[in-house]
């Protein structure tokens, strides 16, 4: 079991490392999205640089990466999903996928910020909390028209939903929710600087 766990952990990192935005941009548009816009290999920059037709599949695949690692791979080890070890495994595989997305081995360790992949993971971990966070994101986006700010606010609300709205008994999920929020904020430091200067770009 230990050997299989390590193998799946490495596989989760490799799946997270699939640089969807980079590969789609180079294959269909002859562009590396990291050379344009926010210089980020994520779904938001793909929408900005390549448009909706490229952005939608990149977004969906990045979400699917996180969900697959935290659900399908974890399910192979814990089919019931009704135990603390199962949640711990989901969290471990999810973190590996996020690290892979941010530091992809297939793209020179220059990846995205992990928001879409994290969404896939929290869907696998807690459907109600993930849908609540998505609703917060949509509301913030409609109000501010700023994707980065909406993503950060949604990330911050995730541990609040897990701890207070949908109380969980699994400590690993609570810890992950907090770590995830901090990580999302950390990957958005440049966005925070632009927000403070009033220079962050809006959509619509």
Q: Tell me which residue of 47, 69, 68 sits closest to 57, measured CA to CA.
A: 47
Confidence of residue 204 (pLDDT cuts 50, 70, 90): low
Helices (H) and strands (E) in the chain, counts: 11, 0
CA–CA gap between residue 142 and residue 130 (Å, rounded) = 18
| pTM recorded for the entire structure | 0.90
Distance CA 157, CA 135 (A): 11
The residues spanned by each domain of the chain are 2-197
Residue 63 has pLDDT above 70, yes or no: yes
Give 41 or 169, the one with higher predicted confidence.
41
What mean pLDDT is predicted for residues 1-30?
95
- In this prediction, residue 36 has a pLDDT band, given cuts at 50, 70 and 90, of very high
Task: Report pLDDT digits (tens) over 134-190.
Answer: 999 999 999 999 999 999 999 999 999 999 998 766 888 999 999 999 999 999 999
What are the tens digits of pLDDT across the range 102-131? 999 999 999 999 999 999 999 999 999 999
CA distance 62 to 31: 19
The chain-wide mean pLDDT, for the chain, equals 92
Does pLDDT of 37 surpass 80? yes
Task: Check whether 29 has a pLDDT greater than 90.
Answer: yes
pLDDT for position 87: 92
- Scanning the structure block, which residue is given the tokens 């920059």? 45
Give residue-wise pLDDT tens across range 81-90.
778 889 999 9
**Which tokens belong to 43?**
């779904």
How much is the pLDDT for 81?
Answer: 78
């Amino acid at each position: 079991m230990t050997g299989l766990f390590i193998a799946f952990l490495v596989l989760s990192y490799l799946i997270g490392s699939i640089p969807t935005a980079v590969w789609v941009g180079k294959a269909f548009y002859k562009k590396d999205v990291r050379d344009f816009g926010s210089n980020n290999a994520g779904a938001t920059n793909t929408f900005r640089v390549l448009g909706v037709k490229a952005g939608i599949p990149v977004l969906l695949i990045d979400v699917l990466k996180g969900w697959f690692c935290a659900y399908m791979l974890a399910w192979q080890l814990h089919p019931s999903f009704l135990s603390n070890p199962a949640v711990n495994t989901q969290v471990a595989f999810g973190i590996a996928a996020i690290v892979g997305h941010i530091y992809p081995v297939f793209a020179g360790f220059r990846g995205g910020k992990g928001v879409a992949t994290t969404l896939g993971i929290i869907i696998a971990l807690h459907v109600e909390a993930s849908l609540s966070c998505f609703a917060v994101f949509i509301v913030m986006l409609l109000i501010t028209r700023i994707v980065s700010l909406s993503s950060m606010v949604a990330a911050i609300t995730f541990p609040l939903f897990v701890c207070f709205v949908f109380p969980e008994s699994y400590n690993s999920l609570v810890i992950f929710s907090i770590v995830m929020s901090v990580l999302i904020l950390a990957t958005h430091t440049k966005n925070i600087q632009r927000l403070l200067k009033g220079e962050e770009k809006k959509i619509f």
